[in-house]
Structure 1
Amino acid sequence: MSRRVFRILIILSVISIIGIITVQIVWVRNAYALRERQFRQTAFIALQDVAERVGQHNRITTSCAAVRQLSPDYFVVNTDSPIDPATLEHYIQTSLSNHNLITEFEYGIYNCESDRMMYGALVSPSATRQPAQTGRTLPKFSENPYYFGIRFPNQTRFIVGNLDGWIVSSAAVLLVVVFFGYTLVVVLRQRKLTEVQRDFINNITHELQTPVATLRIAADVLRSDAILDQPERHRQYARIVHEESLRLQKQVSSVLQLARSERMQFALETTDIDLHQLLAEAAALFHPHITLEFWAENAHIRADRYHLENVINNLIDNALKYNNSQPNIRLQTRNEGNLLIWSVQDNGIGIAKEHHQAVFKQFYRVPTGNIHNVKGFGLGLYYVCKVVKAHRWQIQLISEPGIGSIFTIQAPVLKLTTPTANLLTAS
């Protein structure tokens, strides 16, 4: 499948998901609005029946428009005559039950003598009755001398309860959409991983073919009889064979090193290590480009010596490779509380901020267009990150293009009985 077709399918899938979610939201909102209108209409009818029963009780004729709605959950019913609270409550309960409005309500009767609402009670469907609360009143309606007000405090809950089927079906559809979205994400990740692996295979094939071809050519020359009469040329080709074999060994070792770490899941063999000693040994290998600045009084940590040496060599090797000028690498250490902070700082080409997190991913290399001046597989910093996480340390990258990079690692320090202070500077 071509990338263009794949992108079109992804776009159509995203549009479909958005469309389905939008339709579901509109559907539920419309269903809720419909149920709300039905509740209001049913409440009107039920309260009109209450007004008529009150009229029959008082032997008067009730108005056909006795019910008014002042707010979404508050109704006023004109009775044109006084009514006993107990009788009114019975009428309300009976009428609401007959119209299937089984929900809580609170009512109050207007007292024309005191010109205020006399609060009745809060009545629940389970027939429990709570008396009026102190200071709690219902709003007045001054147009009629005799009326009662009724509020449905749980109207929203009642309406939602009648939408069970709609909500369940919507939840099922949304669940399908979620699974589809998750599947889409997995497919995208797998496709990206496939592309990364393909690039890695192409890269490693090219990197391995170069030294192999050079070795084959050098071997053919060394096999010729004429080379024995040219000692200088013989030594030159022998040097080429040695350098290319070391290069090939290093490339194979980096891949096997990562494969071993993936398979063994970093079964660390930790010992007490003097980091200053390891850094000094690494500096001797890369002399004269290294400057040591040991400010830590205590540089003893618990670590796997083999993996820690590889981390140091990887960071220094990257600092040397990704440099367009005279390399100047500083290895620094310092103590902060119970931590040993050590860093590798260089004056190389630097890394843009948007790549700071990605450089620690497997096979990732900072894009440089079609120019590949530095050879590699994108495994070095990934391996460094795995070692750091396996030791439960922390690593931080500070870098700017054209200025250089600083890789800083924090590790718990081991307590010594007699710590020794040292400050070494070598170059």
Structure 2
Amino acid sequence: MSRRVFRILIILSVISIIGIITVQIVWVRKAYALRERQFRQTAFIALQDVADQVGLLNGITQSCTAVTQLSPDYFIVNTDSPVDPGILEHYIQNSLRNHNLITDFEYGIYNCESDRMIYGAFVSLNANPQTVQASRNLPKFSRSPYYFGIHFPSQSSFIAGHLDGWIASSAAVLLVVLFFGYTLVVVLRQRKLTEVQRDFINNITHELQTPVATLRIAADVLQSDAILDQPERHRQYVRVVQEESLRLQKQVSSVLQLARSEQMQFTINPTEINLHQLLAEAAEVFRPHVSLELWAENAMILGDRYHLENVINNLIDNALKYNTATPHIVLETRNDGDRLVWSVQDNGIGIAPEHQPYIFNQFYRVPTGNVHNVKGFGLGLYYVCKVVKAHRWQISLQSIPGSGSIFTVKVRTTKPTAFVSKLSTVR
């Protein structure tokens, strides 16, 4: 499948997921609005019945508009005459039950003499036995001298309780969408891993072909009888065989070492190390391209000397390889509180911002098309990152394309007693 087709499928899949979620949300909102409208209509009818019963009790004929809604969950019922609180509460409970509005409510009766709501109470129809608590102050209504107000604090939960089917279907759809989204993420991750592995195989094939072809040519030459009469040329081809054999062995060893480190524990043996001494030895090996700026007063750290040497050499080696000008590498140290900060700065080609988050990934190499100017398998910085994490240090990168890169490592200079034992078994 081509990348273009794959991208189109991904875009269509994402659009489908968004569409399904949007449609489901719209339908749930419409269902909730419908239930809310039904609740309001049923409450109107139930409270109108209460007003009629109060009017019948007082010998008054109520109008058909005795109920007024002030808010989605607050209603005013005009009684046109005083009403006994106990009788009113009885009428309200019976009417709500008859209309299947089994939900909590609070009510208050307006007293025109004191101009305030009196006898407020909270009633729970769901409780067994019934519970009655003091109510908050309900807002007044100035259009009638005799009325009571009723508030439904649990209206939202009551409506939601009647949307069980919608909620269950929405949960099922959401679960399917989540599984589909997770599958999509796994497919994308697997495709990316496949591309990385394919690039690695292509790269390692290219890297191994060169020494193998050279060894084959040298072997053919050494098998000829004429080479025995040319000692100098014989020694030259023997040297080529030795060099290419070592190169091939190094390449195979790096891959095998990585495979073993992935399957087994990545063990380190921490000892007390003078980082300045280690950097000075590395600068001596790579001179004259490496200079030192050792400003740290305390350069003693705990770490695995072997792996730390490999980290320094890998960073310097990368700085030399990815450089189109005369290489100039600076090894710098400084103290930052209880940390020792050391860095490797170069004047190489740099790394573009879009590639920087991935440079420590396994097998990752900055894309350069089909050009293989720089040899490698994309394992050097992955190894560096793995060693740094095993020591519980921190590594960061600052790079500008065309201006070089700075790899910075922060190391603790303090040496807790338990630190050494923990480092020895860390992955």
TM-score (norm 2): 0.91
Residues 61-112 of structure 1: CA distance to partner in whole angstroms, max 9, x if unpaired? 1112211212111111121222122211111111112212122212222223
Please say if residues 351 and 400 of structure 2, whose CA atoms lie closer than 8 Å, have aligned partners that are also in contact. yes
The Cα shift of 1:415 comes to: 5.7
Alignment of 1:67-146 (within 5 A): 67-118=67-118, 120-125=120-125, 126=127, 127-133=130-136, 136-140=137-141, 142-146=142-146
Helix, strand or coil: the match of 1:331?
Answer: strand
In structure 2, stretches of 5+ residues that fail to align are 417-427
Helix, strand or coil: the match of 2:70?
Answer: strand
Residues 149-168 of structure 1: CA distance to partner in whole angstroms, max 9, x if unpaired? 21112211211122223212
Please say which of residues 169-178 and 365-374 is displaced more in the overlay. Answer: 365-374
Please say if residues 55 and 62 of structure 1, whose CA atoms lie closer than 8 Å, have aligned partners that are also in contact. yes
The Cα shift of 1:271 comes to: 2.1
2:351 counterpart letter in structure 1: I
Give the distance between the partners of 2:289 and 2:3, measured in 1 at CA.
45
Residues 37-64 of structure 1: CA distance to partner in whole angstroms, max 9, x if unpaired? 1110110111011011001110111112
Please say if residues 85 and 120 of structure 1, whose CA atoms lie closer than 8 Å, have aligned partners that are also in contact. no
Residues 195-246 of structure 1: CA distance to partner in whole angstroms, max 9, x if unpaired? 1111111110111001110121122223333334445544443443333233
Change (3 A) 1:414 1:111: closer
Give the distance between the partners of 1:11 and 1:283, measured in 2 at CA.
51
Residues 377-417 of structure 1: CA distance to partner in whole angstroms, max 9, x if unpaired? 1111011101111111100111111111111111222569x
In structure 1, stretches of 5+ residues that fail to align are 417-427
Give the distance between the partners of 1:176 and 1:54, measured in 2 at CA.
53
Give the distance between the partners of 2:344 and 2:34, measured in 1 at CA.
68
The Cα shift of 1:328 comes to: 1.1
1:390 counterpart letter in structure 2: A
Give the distance between the partners of 1:9 and 1:401, measured in 2 at CA.
34
Helix, strand or coil: the match of 1:120?
Answer: strand
Give the distance between the partners of 2:298 and 2:114, measured in 1 at CA.
86
Residue of structure 1 in register with 2:304 after alignment: 304
Helix, strand or coil: the match of 2:149?
Answer: strand
Please say which of residues 221-230 and 14-23 is displaced more in the overlay. Answer: 221-230
Change (3 A) 1:257 1:132: closer
1:63 counterpart letter in structure 2: S
Give the distance between the partners of 1:249 and 1:287, measured in 2 at CA.
26
Helix, strand or coil: the match of 2:280?
Answer: helix
2:225 counterpart letter in structure 1: D
Please say if residues 118 and 137 of structure 1, whose CA atoms lie closer than 8 Å, have aligned partners that are also in contact. no
Please say which of residues 67-76 and 217-226 is displaced more in the overlay. Answer: 217-226
Residue of structure 1 in register with 2:46 after alignment: 46
Residue of structure 2 in register with 1:265 after alignment: 265
Please say if residues 110 and 116 of structure 1, whose CA atoms lie closer than 8 Å, have aligned partners that are also in contact. yes
Helix, strand or coil: the match of 2:301?
Answer: strand
1:122 counterpart letter in structure 2: F
1:392 counterpart letter in structure 2: R
Alignment of 1:28-427 (within 5 A): 28-118=28-118, 120-125=120-125, 126=127, 127-133=130-136, 136-140=137-141, 142-414=142-414
The Cα shift of 1:251 comes to: 1.7
The Cα shift of 1:188 comes to: 1.3
Give the distance between the partners of 1:217 and 1:15, measured in 2 at CA.
57
Give the distance between the partners of 1:253 and 1:309, measured in 2 at CA.
17
**Root-mean-square deviation over aligned CA pairs:** 2.0
2:80 counterpart letter in structure 1: D
Give the distance between the partners of 1:61 and 1:29, measured in 2 at CA.
40
The Cα shift of 1:371 comes to: 2.9
Helix, strand or coil: the match of 2:267?
Answer: coil
Helix, strand or coil: the match of 1:55?
Answer: helix
Give the distance between the partners of 2:286 and 2:135, measured in 1 at CA.
87
Residues 317-354 of structure 1: CA distance to partner in whole angstroms, max 9, x if unpaired? 10110011111111122222222211111111111222
Aligned residue-pair number: 413
Please say if residues 290 and 331 of structure 2, whose CA atoms lie closer than 8 Å, have aligned partners that are also in contact. yes
Give the distance between the partners of 1:219 and 1:285, measured in 2 at CA.
33
Change (3 A) 1:8 1:132: closer
Helix, strand or coil: the match of 1:357?
Answer: helix
Please say if residues 106 and 135 of structure 2, whose CA atoms lie closer than 8 Å, have aligned partners that are also in contact. no
Give the distance between the partners of 1:317 and 1:148, measured in 2 at CA.
86
Please say if residues 350 and 403 of structure 1, whose CA atoms lie closer than 8 Å, have aligned partners that are also in contact. yes
The Cα shift of 1:146 comes to: 2.0
Give the distance between the partners of 2:67 and 2:116, measured in 1 at CA.
19
The Cα shift of 1:298 comes to: 2.6
The Cα shift of 1:121 comes to: 1.8
Helix, strand or coil: the match of 2:222?
Answer: helix
Please say if residues 108 and 138 of structure 1, whose CA atoms lie closer than 8 Å, have aligned partners that are also in contact. no
Residues 233-263 of structure 1: CA distance to partner in whole angstroms, max 9, x if unpaired? 4444344333323322332222122122212
1:218 counterpart letter in structure 2: A
TM-score (norm 1): 0.91
